[in-house]
Chains A and B, each alone.
Chain A
């Protein structure tokens, strides 16, 4: 915060440095993450992928500030992260909307905490309700919405709060295939429009390759980064294209190599 604004653009948005995380479960200690290093630039779309237990969600939660690291640090613009903050907005798999607030009130929740006047709140919530295509449903409660609509509200809620890094923890995991594909496209449009940085946790290789600039493959026991691949495919990406399949196969191989399982092409 005391850094001159000039230097900001020269720094990476987010830097994870020698991060380790241990949980104690009774007598046992589980090493969820060991010596994780990751640097993410402004506006990048990064997918974290790996089998369950590889620590990808833990890493995301530490970046969000919901959990603290056992060693190492996470820095944003060179400043260490200690607690949750509006500049890092989490989108949960189970939405975590406030059920007693309408769509527009959920979206205005963050700005309201900053004490903006009602007219300004209405303006902000209208803008982001429109961005996710829910203007018609602005006065609905979450219980009246489908899963896809709820997740749109969750995305709009953090964007409305001027978040710079969108943290997404298997956000489309609870949705059906069609809705999932549609939301992936919408997310890409929003990302291109707002140039927000996205860190997206998934266990689907296809989803990772469709979405991201960069796929970070993590492995379990203890959780660490196995591979960091740039995806150079032009957008929009066609999942049935040959080059797409090639990339998908590569990443699937990385994902499964350490457990000695033969990669099954195109099965991800």
Chain B
């Protein structure tokens, strides 16, 4: 009996390589921090704070007790508002985008009906929708959610369509000779075969959702990480602006890890789709 290829390799191993795996990604951020610090000191600019000042601001933003102003100890409020809007828009985009993508991929009439319109709407930058979305939804969170929805929708619907369209034709032949037809063909072959593409779309869309929440919250909402950045700008509080940027970066990163973890679990069969 020949050996199976691609035997699953257990993660972990000895301490040193594991330490290395954790430390390597930290090198570049540390260099950037150092460069930032040096540049500010050398130029003597007062427009950009030192990393240390941003750290203090972040601490105050999180725990309070330093500046005791309108932003002290408010991170959870802004964070929670943004998360709700990001996921509200993202889940709405998935709820519409995945079924629509499946239909476009499977049914010729739907494809001919909808695909050209999508292709025309797709290149329009989502930020260009901002004025219209404010007219549609007024000043407030709904306009932001709508932008997030639009940003996440296109990658999800396009990748889902692609996944359905690119199922290996042999698999349909194999399924039909094994007695699998009609709606069970869709459930047992098309859907699982398209899953890697669907997840690609979800991951891309989720990234866009975090980008667009800032744009969305820059107009007329009192709370949210985007609003914090906008307030920081108005008040010339660059430390606050950078704090907001860091929180968004971390939040986007962590919530991407969640999607990747779900992806890896659902797609254990397909090592090349592991992110």
Contact = CB atoms under 8 A, between A and B. Distances in A.
B177 A144 contact: no
A65 interface: yes
Interface stretch (A16-24, A78-86, A255-263): A78-86
Interface residues of B, number: 31
Given A65-B177, A113-B178, A149 B269 contact: no
A223 interface: no
Contact of A149 (B2, B7, B8): B2
Among A94, A110, A114, residue most surrounded by chain B Cβ atoms (within 10 Å): A110
A176 B76 CA distance: 61
A90 B270 contact: no
Contact of A141 (B1, B174, B184, B269): B269
Given A86-B179, A96-B174, A98-B174, A148 B2 contact: yes
B172 to A, nearest CB: 9
Contact of B170 (A83, A94, A148): A94
A245 interface: no
B178 A86 contact: yes
Contacts of B272: 143
Nearest to A182: B2
Contacts of A102: 269
Interface string A201-214: 00000000000000
Contacts of A65: 177
B10 interface: no
Interface string B235-275: 00000000000000000000000000000000111111000
Interface in B179-200: 179-180, 184, 188-189, 192-193, 195
Nearest to B179: A113
B2 A64 contact: no
A89 interface: yes
Contacts of B192: 98, 100
Contacts of A86: 177-179
B119 interface: no
Q: How large is the interface on A (under 10, 10 to 19, 20 to 34, 35 or more residues)?
A: 35 or more
A60 B149 CA distance: 50
A240 interface: no
Interface string A111-154: 00110000000000000000001001100111111101100000
Nearest to B3: A146
Q: Chain A contact residues: over half helix, strand or loop, or mixed?
A: loop
A92 B169 CA distance: 12
A88 interface: yes
Contacts of A146: 2-5
Which of B184, B188, B195 has its CB near the most chain A CB atoms (within 10 A)? B188
A221 to B, nearest CB: 27
Nearest to B193: A100
B176 interface: yes
B68 interface: no
Interface string B3-27: 1111110000000000000000000
Which has the most chain A C-beta neighbours within 10 Å: B7, B177, B192?
Answer: B177
B106 to A, nearest CB: 18
B4 A140 contact: yes
A85 B170 contact: no
A144 B4 contact: yes
Contacts of A109: 175, 178, 180, 188
Contact of B189 (A66, A92, A98): A98
Contacts of A140: 4
B2 A89 contact: no
Contact of B1 (A85, A88, A100, A133): A133
Contacts of B176: 66, 83-84
Given A113-B184, A144-B6, A144-B8, A64 B177 contact: yes
Q: Which of A64, A146, A157 has the most CB of B within 10 A?
A: A146
Given A109-B180, A146-B4, A179-B2, A96 B268 contact: no
A61 to B, nearest CB: 9
Contacts of B174: 90, 92, 96-98, 157
A173 interface: no
Contacts of B177: 64-66, 84-86, 88-90, 158
B168 interface: yes
Given A84-B173, A110-B179, A144-B8, 19 more contacts: A83-B176, A84-B177, A89-B178, A92-B174, A97-B174, A98-B175, A99-B269, A100-B192, A100-B270, A102-B269, A137-B4, A141-B268, A143-B6, A143-B270, A144-B5, A146-B2, A146-B4, A146-B5, A149-B2
For the complex of A and B, 5 pairs with smallest distance between CB atoms: A113-B179, A110-B178, A96-B170, A84-B177, A141-B269
8 contacts: A64-B173, A96-B168, A98-B174, A100-B270, A102-B269, A109-B178, A143-B271, A145-B5
Interface of B: 1-8, 168, 170-171, 173-180, 184, 188-189, 192-193, 195, 267-272
